[in-house]
Structure 1
C-alpha cells in the first residue's frame, strides 16, 4: 500500500495484517480518485471506517485541508496513527477510536461541513450505510460534497441519499465503488 499521487506520492503506508480490515487496493484507490478528483483545493474529508487510513491520507496528499479518521479496531487505529505520523499529517488529521455510529453522533453536534465522505464498512454490516442519511439530514455535507461508498456486489445501495444521487458506479471483482454527488 502506498500514496498514489500528490505531495506524498509514493510514500509507503503500513497495512494491517489479519482479517479485521480490508484495505482498498492501490489500483482501486487510483480509480476512485480519477473519478472524483484527481486533485483538490482544500476541503474536509471524513474517512468513516478508516482502517489504516489510505483513503483519507490520499485525500490530504491530493490537496484536502483536513481529514477526520474514525476507526474502532485497536490494531487498525494504531496503524492509522503511524501512517498519519509517517506522512507528517498530524496537524491536519483528527483521529477517533470509536464506533462509526458514535462518531456520527459527535459530528452532528459540531459546526462542520464535509466535502469528501468515504464509507467502507465491513461488507456484512449494510446498516452502516444508513449513517449517510443522518449526515445528509443534518446538513453536514457541503453542497458539492462527494460521497464514495465501497461495498460488496451483494449490497444494493439506494439511488440517492437526500439530494446526493448516484453519479457513477464501477465494479472491481467482488467490490463496487458507488459515487454520489449533488447534481445541483
Structure 2
C-alpha cells in the first residue's frame, strides 16, 4: 500500500497487524479518487472505520485541508498514527478511538462540517444503512458533501437517505463503491 498521488505520492503505508482489517487496495483507491476528485482545494474529510487511514491520507495528499479519522481497534489507531507521521500529514489530522455512531454524534456537538466522508465498515456488520441515516440526520455534512461507501458487491445501497441522494456505484471484484451526495449541508430543505 502506498499514497498514489499528491504531496505524499509514493510514500508507503503500513498495514494494521493481524487479519482484523481489510485495507482498500490501491486499485480501488485509485478508482475512488478518479470518481470524486482527483484533487481538492481544501475541505474536511471524515474517515469512519479508518483502518490504515489510507483513504483520508490520500485525500489529504490530494489537497483536503483536514481529516478526522476514527476506528475502534487500538492496532488500527497506532497504525494510522504511524502512517500520518510517515507521510508528514499528522498536523492536519485528528485521530479518535471510538465507535462510528458515537463519533458522528460527538463531532456533531463540535459543529464540524465535512465535505467528504469515507464509510468502510467490516462487511459482515451491515452497518451502512444505520450510519447513512445518522449522517443524514445530523449537521455534519456540508452542502454537496460526498459520502463514499466501500462495501460487499452483493449489497445494494442505491436509494436516497434523508438529504443524501445516490450518485454512483462501481464494482471491483467482490468490492463495490457507492457514492452519495448531500443536497443540503445544513439539512434544512
What is the TM-score of this pair, normalised by structure 1? 0.95
Q: Would the aligned equivalents of 2:168 and 2:179 in 1 still touch at CA under 8 Å?
A: yes
Q: CA deviation at 1:129?
A: 3.8
The alignment partner of 1:118 has SS state of: strand
Q: Would the aligned equivalents of 1:55 and 1:118 in 2 still touch at CA under 8 Å?
A: yes
Q: Mean Cα displacement is larger for which, 128-137 or 60-69?
A: 128-137
Q: CA deviation at 1:36?
A: 0.3
TM alignment of 1:15-54, pairs within 5 A = 15-54=15-54
What is the TM-score of this pair, normalised by structure 2? 0.93
Q: CA deviation at 1:22?
A: 0.3
Deviations 1:21-59 (A, max 9, x none): 100000100000000000000000001010010000000
Deviations 1:50-94 (A, max 9, x none): 001000000000000000000111111111100011111121100
Q: CA deviation at 1:183?
A: 5.9
- CA distance in 2 between counterparts of 1:149 and 1:179 reads 6
1:58 aligns with 2:58: yes
| Counterpart position of 2:109 | 109
- CA distance in 1 between counterparts of 2:129 and 2:60 reads 23
Q: CA deviation at 1:158?
A: 4.2
| Counterpart position of 2:149 | 149
Q: Would the aligned equivalents of 1:71 and 1:97 in 2 still touch at CA under 8 Å?
A: yes
Q: Count matched residues.
A: 184
Q: Would the aligned equivalents of 1:119 and 1:129 in 2 still touch at CA under 8 Å?
A: no
RMSD: 1.4
User: Structure 1 unaligned runs (5+)?
Assistant: none
Q: Would the aligned equivalents of 2:121 and 2:127 in 1 still touch at CA under 8 Å?
A: no
| Counterpart position of 2:174 | 174
The alignment partner of 1:79 has SS state of: helix
User: Structure 2 unaligned runs (5+)?
Assistant: 185-189
